[in-house]
């Protein structure tokens, strides 16, 4: 199975910045789409941002203008640069990767990394 490992989470003050990264291993193909999702306590897991192998990005309205997603397709890595962080950004952030190869779709999730925005 493909494994995704997130890193970069931690505690940051409101208005601060944090950069998350995720690396996928065990796949012979670049992921069709990679992205970040987050889940706050008592809430469902929501999309934060995604990026395709062609570079097309998609962002949740709540993070537009503050977060930037990027990827290294050859290495199946994805990054999330988070700026102007707010307390409501506090959540566990999960990396996701999806492959669509020869008409077969598969995907993997990372274990998550905690982001806490607090004074």
CB 35 within 8 A of CB 69: yes
CB 113 within 8 A of CB 46: no
Cβ neighbours of 30 (radius 10 Å):
17
17-70 residue pLDDT tens: 999 999 988 877 788 899 999 999 999 999 999 999 889 999 999 999 999 999
pLDDT band at 72 (very low <50, low <70, confident <90, very high): confident
Cβ neighbours of 31 (radius 10 Å):
27
Amino acid 73: pLDDT: 62
């Amino acid at each position: 199975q493909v494994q995704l490992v997130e890193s970069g989470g931690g505690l940051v003050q409101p208005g601060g910045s944090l950069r998350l990264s995720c690396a996928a291993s065990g796949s012979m193909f670049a992921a069709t789409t990679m992205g970040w999702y987050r889940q706050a306590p008592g809430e469902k897991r929501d999309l934060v941002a995604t990026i395709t192998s062609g570079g097309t990005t998609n962002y949740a309205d709540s993070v537009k203008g503050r977060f930037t997603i990027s990827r290294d397709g050859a290495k199946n890595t994805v990054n999330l640069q988070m700026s102007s962080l707010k307390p409501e950004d506090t959540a566990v952030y999960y990396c996701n990767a999806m492959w669509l190869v020869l008409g077969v779709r598969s995907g993997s999730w990372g274990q998550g990394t905690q982001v806490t925005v607090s004074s």
